[in-house]
């Protein structure tokens, strides 16, 4: 293990700072933190006051093994540190001082009783030769939970993962009074000439025109300040940036500031999202309602309150721009946050789920332009080689615009969504499928239509060829005024057109690139876009392999044409042409914790081909398999949704077993696996008709 440098920023702790249960400095003990016996052990280094894990680490001089067991067969290269049981009724902030040497992975998780999967709160793979600090929001909860820290040192020589200190304080991670030297995770963005510094304390300059610290109203406290003494060019900028929050933030941000020579500087506050995009929250100027007596700005602290509406993680940026060395100074103190908006008159954050629809029970809040063109039809079809079922379940309903459904030679179908407020960024996601189009430039287009219904702006048009599979797309858009999303399908010539299908529309706040990361980071969810998600082949109990592929399978008239997630992504399947009749392939999940309550497994499967064999789900525990679910023979050309409810009070694995049928047209595929605690909310979709060659629309 590489030597770790002592972290001095946390050396001095103010006596009045409150630390909640779960905090630990690892000075002489682990404070109730223990190693999960199913994995490698974390070891406490008494001399250096930190806890660490190395690949293949054995007991060494000066280190204390804190494992509660010796079983490590399931945890090669991985160590899980479990904290004491906690129950935080109020919001709190966990600050972790850590270091990754060489290569490795570190993740902080929340473990609840009765759940087989831990909820990921924060993770990193950033290596460093010094200690780093992360800030992690712990949302209030009435149910007890434990903090689980998953450390995975890389295989390279000298790789290790270490933790110096864990601190849990009441309040939000954005909040700070700067009394502790770690600055609550805030950092100065270095500039050659102007920078933020921590001021105040016993060494306060008696000649300074900066007042006493706001927190304690005396010279013993601290604050942040920046001045223009070394500014050399016009518009020198100093930025103080908070840590990125780990959860969405909406509420009231408040702080205290004071400012000298206000005409020589510009003080602004922004939010910055994970994509680096800024949004101004507030700017100090003479007309600002928060500023009263500008002649007193060098003598008094001025309170500011500003609303934040961010349904995604963010940073707060305090920015000061100077125009000369005589630009004065700005001081900042007592940053606070409340989940309630600053004013009772502030409108609540808009809920965009009003625009979500899977069309299973109707059109939801979508309407049609009955004055023009041919309407979209809500249909349910019998899947066959010419048409797939819906995307939601494989046997449900979706919308269809089709030249054969129009009484005229062509058609224009317009579907209007509910009104969306302006000046907000949205992410629109939906699935569509094209069949039979010779020219697709007008097959499907999405517009934003203003409230007058006269002006509309095109925000997306499809440029894909007809493939007969469900394709996922997402669109980030913003309108200065309220607008409706409009889906338009146009066909001017009957012979050039085919069918356009639309399903599973959803709208969320924020940039699509940001929300996509949240969707993919949930433990227990796997769409195989990033790999195998810990699933492994059963080398002892099968004679074939599950294979990760994208696109159609090589054998005609069997297997899917694309994955279920996006239509162009990855899925797992067995290739029947590489197996003999009756041979099987078994895919095992990673070990899952037992729970006292029911668990729900959901996934999509595709069993298409005249010689299709069998797909089954087994619960594996104590070396024995229990059958949970089984389907035999050809089921459908489309992806079908399956739900399996089971219960196990001990560690177990779930096994996906496929058996090759009588011919090479026996490919079987799975995708979009989801494990959730609790009973399954919906029953399994059952085909009410046998696959055939009918094009009937129900």
DSSP result, 31-45? TT-EE-TTSBPPEEE
Residue 291 counted as domain residue = no
Q: What is the pLDDT of residue 94?
A: 95
CATH number at residue 121: 2.60.120.200
Q: Tens digit of pLDDT for each residue in 31-85?
A: 999 999 888 999 998 776 899 998 754 433 334 444 333 333 344 588 999 999 9
Mark whether 385 and 487 lie in a shared domain: yes
With a cut of 50, list the residues of the chain below it in pLDDT: 1-16, 57-75, 204-207, 287-298, 519-520, 685-698
Bridging pattern class, strands 50-53 and 377-379 = unpaired
Co-location of 310 and 435 in the same domain: no
Is residue 127 in some structural domain?
A: yes
Is there a domain that residue 67 lies in?
A: no
pLDDT of 158-217, one tens digit each? 889 999 999 999 999 999 999 988 899 999 999 989 999 998 865 544 445 565 666 655
Residues 235, 130 share a domain: no
Phi, psi (rounded to 5 degrees) for 515: -70, -25
**Contacts of 167 by beta carbon, 8 Å cutoff, 6+ apart:** 10, 19, 23, 94, 95
Q: Which of 467, 482, 513 is the C-terminal boundary of a domain?
A: 513
- Is the same domain home to 206 and 324? yes
How many domains, the chain?
A: 4
Same domain, 232 and 157: no
Domain residue limits at 123: 34-55+76-170
Is residue 522 within 8 A of residue 513, CB to CB? The reply is no
Distances (CA, A) of 54 to 371, 433, 491: 70, 50, 64
* pLDDT at site 562: 94
Note the helical H segments in 470-597.
512-520
pLDDT at 307: 95
Single out the residue in 513, 533, 559 at which a domain terminates.
513
**Same domain (yes/no): 361, 409:** yes
Same domain, 497 and 357: yes
Same domain membership, residue 479 and residue 616: no
Considering the domain architecture, whether residues 216 and 333 belong to the same structural domain is answered as: yes
Is there a domain that residue 294 lies in?
Answer: no
Q: Is residue 276 part of a domain?
A: yes
pTM, to two decimals:
0.84
Q: Based on the domain organization, do 86 and 164 belong to the same domain?
A: yes
Are 508 and 543 within one domain?
A: no
**Structure confidence by residue, pLDDT tens digits, 634-656:** 999 999 999 999 999 998 999 99
Is position 466 within any domain? yes
Whether residues 126 and 191 share a domain: the answer is: no
CA distance 512 to 572: 26
* Domain presence at residue 689: no
88 in a structural domain = yes
Answer whether 255's CB lies under 8 Å from 334's CB: yes
Q: In what order do the strands lie in the sheet with 236-241?
A: 187-189, 236-241, 315-322, 265-272, 278-283
pLDDT for residue 15: 39
Other CB atoms within 10 A of residue 30 CB? 18
Euclidean distance between CA atoms 698 and 696, whole angstroms: 6
Question: What pLDDT, on the 0 to 100 scale, is given for residue 211?
Answer: 57
């Amino acid at each position: 293990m590489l030597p770790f440098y002592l972290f001095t920023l946390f050396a001095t702790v103010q006596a009045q700072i409150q630390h909640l249960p779960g905090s630990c400095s690892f000075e002489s003990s682990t404070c109730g933190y223990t190693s999960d016996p199913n994995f490698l052990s974390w070891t406490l280094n008494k001399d250096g006051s930190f806890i660490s894990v190395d690949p293949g680490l054995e007991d060494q001089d000066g280190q204390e093994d804190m494992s509660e067991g010796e079983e490590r067969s399931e945890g090669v290269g991985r160590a899980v540190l479990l904290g004491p049981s906690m129950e935080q009724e109020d919001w709190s902030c966990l600050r972790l001082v850590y270091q990754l040497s060489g290569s490795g992975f570190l993740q902080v998780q929340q473990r609840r009783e009765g759940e087989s999967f831990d909820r990921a709160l924060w993770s990193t793979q950033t290596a460093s030769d010094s200690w780093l600090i992360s800030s992690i929001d712990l949302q209030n909860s009435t149910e007890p939970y434990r903090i689980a820290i998953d450390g995975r040192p890389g295989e390279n020589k000298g790789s290790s993962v270490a933790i110096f200190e864990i601190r849990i304080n009441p309040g939000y991670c954005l909040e700070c009074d700067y009394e502790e030297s770690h600055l609550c995770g805030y950092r100065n963005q270095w500039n050659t000439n102007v920078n933020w510094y921590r001021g105040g304390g016993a060494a306060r300059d008696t000649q300074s025109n900066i007042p006493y610290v706001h927190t304690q109203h005396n010279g013993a406290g601290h604050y942040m300040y920046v001045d223009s003494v070394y500014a050399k060019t016009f518009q020198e900028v100093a930025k103080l940036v908070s840590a990125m929050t780990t959860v969405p933030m909406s509420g009231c941000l408040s702080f205290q500031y004071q400012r000298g020579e206000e005409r020589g500087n510009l003080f602004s506050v922004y939010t910055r999202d994970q994509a680096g995009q800024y949004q101004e929250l507030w700017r100090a100027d003479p007309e600002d309602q928060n500023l009263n007596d500008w002649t007193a700005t060098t003598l008094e602290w001025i309170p500011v309150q500003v609303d934040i509406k961010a349904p995604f993680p963010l940073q707060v940026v305090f920015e000061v721009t100077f125009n000369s060395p005589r630009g004065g100074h700005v001081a900042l103190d007592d940053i606070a946050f409340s989940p309630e908006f600053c004013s009772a008159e502030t409108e609540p954050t808009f809920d965009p789920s009003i625009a979500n629809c899977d069309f299973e029970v109707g059109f939801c809040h979508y309407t049609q332009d009955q004055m023009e063109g041919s309407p979209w039809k809500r249909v349910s079809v019998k899947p066959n080689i010419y048409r797939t079922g819906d995307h939601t379940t494989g046997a449900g309903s979706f919308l269809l615009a089709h030249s054969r459904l129009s009484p005229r030679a062509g058609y224009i179908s317009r579907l209007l969504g509910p009104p969306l407020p302006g000046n907000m960024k949205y992410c629109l996601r939906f699935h569509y499928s094209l069949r039979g189009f010779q020219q697709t430039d007008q097959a499907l287009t999405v517009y934003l239509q203003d409230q007058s219904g006269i002006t509309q702006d095109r925000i997306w048009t499809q440029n894909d060829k007809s493939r007969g599979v469900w394709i996922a797309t997402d669109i980030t858009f913003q309108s200065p005024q309220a607008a409706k999303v409009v889906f338009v399908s146009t066909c001017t010539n009957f012979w050039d057109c085919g069918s356009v299908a639309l399903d599973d529309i959803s709208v969320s706040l924020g940039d699509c690139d940001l929300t996509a990361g949240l969707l993919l980071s949930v433990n227990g969810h796997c769409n195989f876009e990033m790999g195998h998600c810990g699933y492994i082949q059963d080398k002892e109990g099968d004679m074939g392999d599950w294979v990760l592929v994208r696109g159609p399978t090589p054998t005609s008239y069997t297997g899917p044409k694309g994955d279920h997630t996006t239509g162009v992504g990855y899925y797992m399947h067995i290739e029947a042409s590489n197996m003999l009749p009756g041979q099987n392939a078994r895919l095992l999940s990673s070990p899952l914790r037992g729970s006292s309550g029911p668990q729900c497994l959901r996934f999509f499967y595709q069993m298409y081909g005249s010689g299709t064999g069998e797909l089954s789900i087994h619960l594996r525990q104590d070396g024995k398999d229990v059958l949970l679910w089984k389907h035999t023979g050809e089921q459908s050309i489309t992806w079908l949704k399956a739900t399996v409810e089971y219960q196990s009070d001990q560690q177990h694995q779930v096994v996906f077993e496929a058996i090759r049928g009588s011919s090479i047209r026996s490919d079987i595929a799975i995708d979009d696996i989801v494990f959730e605690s609790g009973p399954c909310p919906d029953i399994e979709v059952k085909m009410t008709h046998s696959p055939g060659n009918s094009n009937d629309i129900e």
